[in-house]
Chains A and B, each alone.
Chain A
Amino acid sequence: QKEVEQDPGPLSVPEGAIVSLNCTYSNSAFQYFMWYRQYSRKGPELLMYTYSSGNKEDGRFTAQVDKSSKYISLFIRDSQPSDSATYLCAMSSTGGFKTIFGAGTRLFVKA
């Protein structure tokens, strides 16, 4: 079983839609959960991170962590064509010296 699983997509939505991106994981030691956005041939850009379970909101983005189900989500409200990118989940345990990434989900937002 992979440590972090993420559906690679692609996911195509119309402009203005609510987008839901998800990852599952197997290592219960993970405590920190991050979402990155990556445009083609660029470095990952940190969107937000959460610690342990719960929700965190930043503008149009909401991250959710359910540690009991080992499931994390990123919601994008009012999606825009500029949101078209690959979204990567990533996680680390306390100590934080090793971060494991998901495969990334390619998102296309159509105008």
Chain B
Amino acid sequence: EPEVTQTPSHQVTQMGQEVILRCVPISNHLYFYWYRQILGQKVEFLVSFYNNEISEKSEIFDDQFSVERPDGSNFTLKIRSTKLEDSAMYFCASSPLPLTGAEQYFGPGTRLTVT
């Protein structure tokens, strides 16, 4: 069964460093998303991506964040200068359905720890 994969599973970085989180969405999906979940809190939308451009982003997704689909399979989230409060689980999701947000399939997540 196809699934969304994410690497690394755990990333430890120092404050101020850049990190890149990687995702491989399900191959025939066209809609991609990043979410974060701070420990013990709810899943928060960061950004959606379709047709090689950002479709929508939340207030959390400021200039420190960027997304890219560098080739036909990978989808990345870059945080330029990490802060302590960026420590969270980051989930990638993909969906085959246009214009609904429904049927999103999530990856296992990357746990980011900023020290």
Q: Do A and B come from one complex?
A: yes
Main secondary structure of the interface of A (DSSP, over half): strand
- Expressed in whole angstroms, the Cα–Cα distance for A104 and B111 within the complex equals 19
Interface residues of B (CB under 8 A from A): 4, 31, 33, 35, 41-45, 48, 50, 55-56, 58, 89, 91, 95, 97-109, 111
Q: Which residues of B contact A7 (CB under 8 A)?
A: none
Given A97-B50, A98-B48, also A46-B104 (CB < 8 A): yes
Chain B residues closer than 8 Å to A41, beta-carbon distance:
89, 109, 111
Q: A43 contacts the other chain (Cβ, under 8 Å)?
A: yes
Is A92 among interface residues, defined by CB-CB distance under 8 A?
yes
A42-B109, A98-B58, A99-B33 known; A32+B42 contact, CB < 8 A = no
What's the least CB distance linking A66 to chain B, in Å? 18
Asked if A46 contacts B105 (CB within 8 A), the reply is yes
Q: How far is the CA of A102 from the CA of B14 in the complex (A)?
A: 31
| Residues of A24-44 whose CB lies within 8 A of B | 31-32, 34, 36, 41-44
11 contacts between A and B (CB under 8 A): A31-B100, A42-B108, A90-B43, A93-B101, A94-B100, A96-B100, A97-B50, A98-B56, A101-B35, A101-B45, A103-B41
Docked CA distance A15–B10 (Å):
35
Q: How far is the CA of A56 from the CA of B19 in the complex (A)?
A: 41
